[in-house]
Amino acid sequence: MKSEIQDLRNDYAALQGEVGGLREEVRELRQDNDELRAVNSKTEERLSEMERKADDLENRSKRNNLIIYGLERNEGETSEDCEGILQDLITDKLEMAGDVVFDRVHRLNSKADSPLITRCASYKDKLQILRAKRKLHGSQISIGEDFSRRVREIRRNLVPRLKQARDEQKKATLTFDHLYIEGKKFTFDLQKNTVIEMR
């Protein structure tokens, strides 16, 4: 009996040593995990900041761009043809002087109903075209600005709120990635998937 009790005591002491070792390993793993979480958090912050900067740069590079929807494609159409079509639209439909200069005009893709995209040589010309686009009301042609994917997604989610506000006879405008309703400023939080009011 004494021998068995001693063996049990020895086994228990060995187990206690193993448990102590496991506890130390768990403590170290927890510490490593906390350090990894901190590194991960910093990495996510950096990535988020880099994405924000890349998005900002993309939108700045598209600052003078316009997209024109509803202009029919001609067979064998070239970039020069596209510029002629756009110049005709500006002089005939928008009733603007034909001295607007474009750096480049082309279709966005090869589809038959592909919109034209252009880069205005002057930001002032772009604004003038945007002001004149109301003359296209009631036609199949529309003109919009070119934005990054993030901004397009935000705008797409703000449009229903814009329409609702206008249906309620409220003054509402959508500018870049912000919606203004009666002096209040809103945006769409893509992570929370909700419209938020900005202060």
165 — pLDDT class (breaks 50, 70, 90): very high
- Number of structural domains (the chain) is 3
Residue numbers of the domain that contains 179: 148-199
Burial of 39 (0-12, 13-18, 19+ CB in 10 A): exposed
Q: Residues 33, 16: one domain?
A: yes
- Which residue, of 127, 146, 165, is where some domain finishes? 146
161 — pLDDT class (breaks 50, 70, 90): very high
pLDDT at position 12: 80
pLDDT at position 155: 96
The residue that leads in pLDDT, 184 or 3, is 184
Q: Residues 3, 16: one domain?
A: yes
CATH number for the domain that contains residue 97: 3.30.70.1820
Output the pTM of the full model: 0.74
**121-151, pLDDT tens digit by residue?**
999 999 999 999 999 999 999 999 999 999 9
105: amino acid identity, one letter: V
